[in-house]
Amino acid sequence: MKVEILNPHGYCAGVKRAIQIALDASNNTLTKRPIYLLGNLIHNKQVTSALTSKGIITIEEKNRTRLQMLDDIESGTVIFSAHGISNKVREKAKSKGLNIIDASCGKVLIIHKKVLEYLEKGYEIIYIGKAHHPECEAILEESDHIHLITKKSDINLLNINCEKIYVTNQTTLSSLETKEIYDTIQAKYPKAYLDNNICNATTLRQNAILNAKGFDLCIVVGDVMSSNSKRLCEIANSNNMASLLVETSKDLTDDIKKYNNILLTSGASTPEEVLNDVYNHLINM
């Protein structure tokens, strides 16, 4: 069994920055206590527990939005995650008198700003994203004039009677699936302004998998909640490889031994040491 680690892998710039911001806040004795994270800083359990050990309390509950989870925070500091936040959440945090630290990724902020600008100009927005993902949730909370598309067939349900349509997307989607969705939207609304915003870190990782040759299995090390990690698995499948998402080496089973050439990579929110641990286990299998 041959195992090759694919480049690039590991933390993207937005994730590195978010982790550093949270650590700086906890190391700074002047930061108002308690320190809360509104939702997981990034989608990785190891990182969340490392931050917990630094005294940072993560508020995360399935089926509750960040706007709702903010009700649980009455004092101290709130850190916004790398996925970005809506203006409603920002204003609510301000009105509660909380100290705000924003770890939103710059790429996410650019898209958010563009959406607000086009809304201001009277556009209807078509947003391609994953329902309930925090990045998507933050955009949708801005206006009722934003139409979520999660898959190609959703486009049939769109009924927009407006000449001005701006189309954009979540940063961590599959480049292949998103292109298909954009093409279908363009066919339905030829005058729409299409603004594909899959981030560079996501594109580079997906392209590396698409260009890889001679592998029968791609193992992606990443959290089951990590959108970009799940998309890497889908991209591997489209390049005729089986794929497997593992959170840690504990998820490796003997079934893997039936593969001869394994490509190993990780999502943008996976610590390097977790990838290395999976690699060492594979080599020893």
User: Of 238, 284, 220, which Cα lies nearest the Cα of 257?
Assistant: 284
Smallest gap from residue 268 Cβ to ligand SF4 (A): 4
The answer to whether residue 178 forms part of the interface with ligand SF4 (CB under 6 A) is no
For residue 14, state whether it binds ligand SF4 (rule: CB under 6 A). Answer: yes
3-class secondary structure, 226: coil
Q: Rule CB under 6 A: is residue 241 a binding residue for ligand SF4?
A: no
As a whole number of angstroms, the distance between CA 241 and CA 133 comes to: 27
Smaller CB distance to ligand SF4: residue 136 or 199? 199
Q: Which of these segments, 154-162, 179-187, 198-206, 230-238, binds ligand SF4 (CB under 6 A)? A: 198-206
Could you tell me which stretch among 70-78, 94-102, 194-202, 243-251 binds ligand SF4 (CB under 6 A)?
194-202
Among the listed residues 61, 120, 135, 272, the single catalytic one is: 135
Q: Give yes or no for residue 197 binding ligand SF4 (CB under 6 A).
A: no
* 12, 93, 149, 181: residue in contact with ligand SF4 (rule CB under 6 A): 12
What span, in angstroms and rounded, lies between the C-alpha atoms of 164 and 125?
9
Out of 21, 105, 165, 256, the only residue in the binding site for ligand SF4 (CB under 6 A) is: 105
Counting every residue, how long is the chain?
285
Residue 66 CB, shortest distance to ligand SF4, in Å, is 16
In sequence order, which ranges of 8-133 are alpha helices (DSSP H)? 13-27, 45-53, 66-69, 87-95, 106-120
**Which residue type is seen at 247?**
E
Which CB, 227 or 249, lies closer to ligand SF4? Answer: 227
Say whether 117 is catalytic: no
Judged by CB under 6 A, the residue of 35, 82, 126, 217 near ligand SF4 is 82
The residue number whose beta carbon is nearest to ligand SF4 equals 14
CB environment 255-285: b (16+ within 10 A), e (fewer): ebeebeebbbbbbbbbbeebbbebbebbeee
Give the nearest distance from C-beta 101 to ligand SF4 in angstroms: 16
Candidates 104-112, 113-121, 138-146, 248-256: pick the segment binding ligand SF4 (CB under 6 A).
104-112
CA distance 148 to 133: 12
Q: What share of the chain is helix, strand, coil (3-state, %, to 5)?
A: 45, 20, 35
Q: Cβ 104 to ligand SF4, closest distance in Å?
A: 9
Which of residues 4, 5, 8, 13 is near ligand SF4 by CB under 6 A? 13
C-beta separation of 220 from 243 below 8 A: yes
- Euclidean distance between CA atoms 267 and 44, whole angstroms: 10
Dihedral (CA of 137, 138, 139, 142) sign: positive
Q: Is 41 in the site for ligand SF4 (CB under 6 A)?
A: no
The reply on whether position 199 binds ligand SF4 by CB under 6 A is yes
Note whether 43 and 227 are within 8 A (CB): yes
Judged by CB under 6 A, the stretch of 105-113, 151-159, 246-254, 275-283 that binds ligand SF4 is 105-113
Residues labelled catalytic = 135
- Residues forming contacts to ligand SF4 in the complex (CB under 6 A) are 12-15, 82, 105, 107-108, 171-172, 199, 201-202, 228, 268
